[in-house]
Chains A and B, each alone.
Chain A
Amino acid sequence: MPNHKILCDTIIQVRRDILRMVHKVNSGHPGGSLGCTEFLVSLFYEIMDFKLPFNMNGKNEDLFFLSNGHISPVFYSVLARKGFFPLEELKTYRLIDSRLQGHPTNYEGLPGIRVASGSLGQGLSVSVGAALTKKLNKDSKTIFVLLGDGELQEGQNWEAIMYASANNVDNIIATIDVNGKQIDGSTDDVLSLGNLQMKFNSFGWEVINLEKGNNIDEIIKSLKYAKSKLGKGKPVVILMKTEMGNGVDFMMNTHAWHGIAPNDEQLKNALKQNSVTLGDF
């Protein structure tokens, strides 16, 4: 059983990190970051088997790829909290000469990042490639990848989705952050994704619905169930319903906080709602 206190305290701390990072530089993407905080904390604290120090090739380790790179604040915070790089480096997010670029990249040598992302729609293909190499290397570990739902409007995803099932890439768990929102509004308004469950099903994937994607017990249960479905000839996808901006009341139920930072007053309010700290950066 997961240690709830550690997970819950970490989630609140990661929210604080996200809010303080984007506030400091008055830019970045808090909404999607907050929506995926419970997922990334659960994944890195309870599910994934990885080694430190970071090794690019990651043989005999579970690997994680972030395709929707704009939620870098949550990724950076979790990596730092897990010891991939010093916590104080979070102070440099989006600043000149930093390894913490606006969107994640290995170009500056930041441990934990294996490929650049930000231009959407590429992470699933890369993850499928990494999964194929694991098979060639007789490496039984798992590839995890997170994608945004709006990102599925990029056609390259469907090339990768088709390829993975046609070629029995059954060592990959893709999670779609179904928050129903993108920059210009709801995904239904901008370009409806239709029925994702039916789409993935008809493309030959094992589909798991996670209705409460901000609930750690449900997330961990879904991820464990997803792992039990590996090695059966089908790639696995979790359709994870989340609330963008989760944990900060005024950032929820709106797409407005996709890509803007809170001001001083708003930050104060948001931090008050997430007051437990394990030690801010």
Chain B
Amino acid sequence: MENYINFGDKDTRSGFGEGLTELGRSNPNIVALCADLLGSLKMQTFKDENPERFFQIGIAEANMIGIAAGLSIGGKIPFTGTFANFSTGRVYDQIRQSIAYSNKNVKICASHAGITLGEDGATHQILEDIGLMKMLPGMTVINTCDFNQTKLATIAISKFKGPVYLRFGRPKVPNFTDEKTNFEIGKGVVLKTGKDITVVATGHLVWEAIQAAEEMEKYKISVEVINIHTIKPLDNEIILKSVKKTGGIVSAEEHNYLGGLGESISGMLSKNHPTPQEYVAVNDTFGESGTPSQLMKKYGLDKETIINKIKKVIKRKI
């Protein structure tokens, strides 16, 4: 069984910052926009190295989205940066009309996604953004799991033509994926092979899923763990292949169960291969203030919840 080592906790947003810095050095068409959250989004180095290609928009997210759409006309590749809440819900119609419907090559990069931004509370947390973005025709939706993957994804989306929503987070979390792997948009990654049950996780829940799988080994339950970083387009093939083998699935995400990865999976499975499924997700509520780990525990976004859901699915399989 594959083992994963934490190379040291790091925040995914810093992966974005490093990726953007590399892009600034390698591609003169990359431009970056920020709505007064330069430090939070780790965009300082890009700004310092490319002042003429960095646009401080101020606290005006709607204008940022429109300006990004306009910048793409003439061949620039704009990366916008703000919190996930202000990147999506606040500017939904701007994204819908000026970016998605207008098919603009804009990368909407969103930090502080989910509940783990912590103490700021529910006004700043967002658990609906994946749903909002995946419903837009033509939008690619990516939620990365650690520092290395976020950096690779940031670089990968610059080479992909079309609108992308890239979602990452605030807290320091285990960094465990291989920094030398190829990040392929739309391709899931089997992190652990197993035969009894499939756990499909995205974002911060991927590490929890690995921990859960290792724990289940003690009970002789073999868990297949799949890292789905691209929620849209969903890698149907990798999921179908796995559930045909295991016969049960748990989805895990830092998002409302409505509109998230789990819903995409169940929709796909119901058409192709109906499979017992349990969701590890937020149960249609807002978040609240607290530390990231307290919140993950309280809202059932942790290893323990994944284990409970695995047990539940295994019972349902029989």
Would you list which residues of chain B between 89 and 148 have a CB under 8 Å from chain A? 93-94, 96-98, 101-104
A125 at the interface (CB under 8 A from B): yes
B60 at the interface (CB under 8 A from A): yes
Min CB–CB distance A73 → chain B (angstroms): 20
**Contacts A58-B74, A156-B63, A159-B62; is A126 near B98 (CB within 8 Å)?**
yes
B102 touches A129 (CB 8 A): no
A139 at the interface (CB under 8 A from B): yes
Min CB–CB distance B145 → chain A (angstroms): 32
A137 touches B101 (CB 8 A): no
Closest to A69 in B: B97
A137 touches B75 (CB 8 A): yes
**Contacts A115-B102, A126-B69, A129-B69; is A160 near B74 (CB within 8 Å)?**
no
A133 touches B75 (CB 8 A): yes
Would you list which residues of chain A between 238 and 262 have a CB under 8 Å from chain B? none
Cα–Cα distance between A139 and B67 once the two chains are bound (Å):
17
B73 touches A125 (CB 8 A): no
A106 touches B102 (CB 8 A): yes
B300 at the interface (CB under 8 A from A): no
A63 touches B73 (CB 8 A): yes
A22 at the interface (CB under 8 A from B): no
B73 touches A115 (CB 8 A): yes
B68 contacts which chain A residues (CB < 8 A)?
A: 129
CB 8 Å contact bits of B47-73 with A (1 = contact, 0 = none):
000001101011010110111111111
**Which interface class (under 10, 10 to 19, 20 to 34, 35 or more) fits A?**
35 or more
Cα–Cα distance between A105 and B68 once the two chains are bound (Å):
17
Min CB–CB distance A236 → chain B (angstroms): 17
Instruction: Tell which of B71, B94, B101, B102 touches A132, judged by Cβ atoms closer than 8 Å.
Output: B71
Cα–Cα distance between A58 and B68 once the two chains are bound (Å):
16
**Contacts A122-B97, A136-B76, A156-B94; is A105 near B70 (CB within 8 Å)?**
no
Closest to A124 in B: B66
Instruction: Tell which of B52, B63, B78, B93 touches A160, judged by Cβ atoms closer than 8 Å.
Output: B63
B73 touches A114 (CB 8 A): yes
Which of B55, B65, B72, B93 lies at the interface centre, i.e. has the most chain A CB atoms within 10 A of its CB? B72
A70 at the interface (CB under 8 A from B): no
Cα–Cα distance between A130 and B72 once the two chains are bound (Å):
7
Closest to B74 in A: A133
B60 touches A118 (CB 8 A): no
B31 at the interface (CB under 8 A from A): yes
Instruction: Tell which of A119, A124, A132 touches B93, judged by Cβ atoms closer than 8 Å.
Output: A119
CB 8 Å contact bits of A164-177 with B (1 = contact, 0 = none):
00010000000000
Cα–Cα distance between A5 and B42 once the two chains are bound (Å):
59
B96 contacts which chain A residues (CB < 8 A)?
A: 119
A63 contacts which chain B residues (CB < 8 A)?
A: 73
**Contacts A107-B103, A163-B57; is A133 near B73 (CB within 8 Å)?**
yes
Which of B52, B70, B98, B101 lies at the interface centre, i.e. has the most chain A CB atoms within 10 A of its CB? B70
Closest to B70 in A: A129
**Contacts A105-B102, A107-B103; is A160 near B73 (CB within 8 Å)?**
no
Which of A56, A118, A162 lies at the interface centre, i.e. has the most chain B CB atoms within 10 A of its CB? A56
Cα–Cα distance between A118 and B97 once the two chains are bound (Å):
8
Closest to B66 in A: A125
Closest to A145 in B: B70
A121 contacts which chain B residues (CB < 8 A)?
A: 62
Cα–Cα distance between A136 and B29 once the two chains are bound (Å):
9
A134 at the interface (CB under 8 A from B): yes
Instruction: Tell which of A118, A132, A136 touches B67, judged by Cβ atoms closer than 8 Å.
Output: A132
Closest to A161 in B: B63
B94 contacts which chain A residues (CB < 8 A)?
A: 122, 125, 156
B73 touches A132 (CB 8 A): no
B97 touches A133 (CB 8 A): no
Closest to B65 in A: A125
A116 touches B98 (CB 8 A): yes
Cα–Cα distance between A238 and B299 once the two chains are bound (Å):
54
A105 contacts which chain B residues (CB < 8 A)?
A: 101-102
Instruction: Tell which of A57, A106, A156 touches B103, judged by Cβ atoms closer than 8 Å.
Output: A106
B97 touches A116 (CB 8 A): yes
**Contacts A116-B97, A163-B57, A163-B58; is A128 near B73 (CB within 8 Å)?**
no
Min CB–CB distance B310 → chain A (angstroms): 44
A115 touches B71 (CB 8 A): no
Min CB–CB distance B44 → chain A (angstroms): 19
Instruction: Tell which of A129, A162, A167 touches B71, judged by Cβ atoms closer than 8 Å.
Output: A129
B102 contacts which chain A residues (CB < 8 A)?
A: 105-107, 114-116
B71 touches A133 (CB 8 A): yes
A130 touches B58 (CB 8 A): no
Would you list 17 pairs from A and B whose C-beta atoms are within 8 A, ordered by A residue? A63-B73, A115-B70, A115-B102, A117-B97, A122-B93, A122-B94, A122-B98, A123-B66, A125-B67, A126-B66, A126-B67, A132-B71, A133-B70, A136-B74, A159-B60, A159-B62, A160-B66
Chain B residues proximal to chain A, CB less than 8 Å: 31, 52-53, 55, 57-58, 60, 62-63, 65-76, 78, 93-94, 96-98, 101-104
Instruction: Known pairs A129-B67, A130-B71, A160-B66; list 10 more (Cβ under 8 Å).
Output: A114-B102, A116-B102, A122-B98, A124-B66, A125-B69, A126-B66, A132-B55, A133-B75, A134-B74, A163-B58
Chain A residues proximal to chain B, CB less than 8 Å: 56-59, 63, 105-107, 114-119, 121-134, 136-137, 139, 155-156, 159-160, 162-163, 167
